[in-house]
Structure 1
Amino acid sequence: MELLLETVALYSLKLAYETEGHSPILRDDPLMGGCDREVFGLLVRRGDVAGIQIEISWCLDLALGAVGGMDTVLGRELHHLTAAFTAVQEMDGLNAPLTALKAYLKDIL
């Protein structure tokens, strides 16, 4: 789960900040801040669904801004997927929306 969370965060930040011709954003980039596998591992071990949602939602908000907000086709779909993710209340329910977010972000990168 930690790797999936980190990947969604990484793809979101790549979408928001990575520019053509510059160095790519990597997992160990300082830009990742608290969105790394160790932080997510701690949240997962605690079963802190709200904490996970806060960290990932911050990244997804940046990605939403990068695609032009909710007034764009890409933004509406990203918002829809984000809403499904934030509606989850149990740890067991996070995998499906996170997998959908990961796939969508990867596709639009």
Structure 2
Amino acid sequence: MELPLETVALFALKLAYEREGESPILRDDPIMSDYEREVFGLLVRRGDVEEIQFRVMHCVGLALDAIGGIDTVLGRELHRLAADFNAARTMEQIDKPLIALRDYLKVIQ
């Protein structure tokens, strides 16, 4: 589960901060320090759903701003997927909405 969490953060931060003609944001970029696989791994092992959601939603919020907010077609769908992810209450419930969020961010980034 750590890899999809890191990937969602990476794709969201790419939408928010990556600009054409500049170096791409990579997994080892300093901006990813709070969203590395190891950080998420620790949170997953602890079963800290709220902290995982907080970190992911921070990145998704940045991406949402970058695509024009909730009033755009892309923004409405991203907001819906993020709400599904945020509604999870257990680690078992996170997986499916996490994958949907990851797949959507991959397509729009």
Normalising by structure 1, report the TM-score: 0.98
1:59 maps onto 2:59 in alignment: yes
Amino acid corresponding to residue 22 of structure 1 in structure 2: E
d(CA) in 2 for partners of 1:62 and 1:78? 11
Equivalent residue, structure 2, for 1:31: 31
Aligned identity (percent) is 64
Equivalent residue, structure 2, for 1:88: 88
1:32 is displaced (CA, Å) by: 1.1
1:33 is displaced (CA, Å) by: 2.6
Equivalent residue, structure 2, for 1:98: 98
Equivalent residue, structure 1, for 2:22: 22
| Matched residues, number | 109
Unaligned 5+ segments in structure 1 are none
Q: Which runs of 4+ in 1 moved over 3 A?
A: none
Q: How large is the Cα RMSD of the aligned pairs?
A: 0.5
SS in 1 for 2:75: helix
Normalising by structure 2, report the TM-score: 0.98
Unaligned 5+ segments in structure 2 are none
d(CA) in 1 for partners of 2:37 and 2:69? 27
Equivalent residue, structure 1, for 2:7: 7
Amino acid corresponding to residue 93 of structure 2 in structure 1: G
Amino acid corresponding to residue 65 of structure 1 in structure 2: D
d(CA) in 2 for partners of 1:77 and 1:63? 12
1:72 maps onto 2:72 in alignment: yes
Amino acid corresponding to residue 84 of structure 1 in structure 2: D
Amino acid corresponding to residue 9 of structure 2 in structure 1: A
